[in-house]
Amino acid sequence: MTGLKITEYPAVVLAEVGAPVEQFDAELAKLCEDMFETMYAAEGVGLAAPQVGLGLRLFVMDCDGIKLVAANPEIVAEEGEQVGEEGCLSVGKIGAPLKRPMRVTLRAQDMQGNWYERTAEGLAARCFHHETDHCDGTLFIDRLTPLKRDMVKKKFQKQKKWG
């Protein structure tokens, strides 16, 4: 396995809509393995391809007992709402409270290309939403109010300078 470099805000690839995953081969399996290793090393619960510099619709996650690979993910149902502290490996894990649906159904393909649906609640639902957003070029800070977004950006700049 190989640890990958995590792409950080404001890299352009983080703001782009990813291309669909079309090849379900050994190369994809290796990429997913490397993404899991990178995510665990960074103590994250989810990691999307744009976060390792690849403009692809793909993420891995291991959150709240749900471990999966999601290629070409879509959110097909959502209900309720939750407000919780959220952060992102591409923004220095600086947290801010953000509203997301409480219950989310994800539709995606596994590493073999088989379609599946998975419904989650709470933290795992937040993760489904956050990682699918990455595949659409959306960061959690894009969903914050301008004031909160500036606060996170400032903290991140400080962290990069002194960290």
* Residues with a known catalytic role: 131
Looking up tokens 């004031």, which residue turns up? 147
3-state secondary structure at position 68: strand
The answer to whether residue 88 forms part of the interface with Ni ion (CB under 5 A) is yes
Residue with smaller CB distance to Ni ion, 60 or 71: 60
Structure tokens at 102: 């409480």
Helix (H) or strand (E) holding 27: helix 26-41
Least distance to Ni ion, CB of residue 134, Å: 6
* Candidate ranges 55-63, 70-78, 85-93, 144-152; the one touching Ni ion (CB under 5 A): 85-93
Structure tokens at 158: 């400080």
Residue with smaller CB distance to Ni ion, 14 or 71: 14
* Candidate ranges 24-32, 84-92, 98-106, 149-157; the one touching Ni ion (CB under 5 A): 84-92
Q: Rounded to an integer, what distance in angstroms lies between the CA atom of residue 127 and that of residue 24?
A: 23
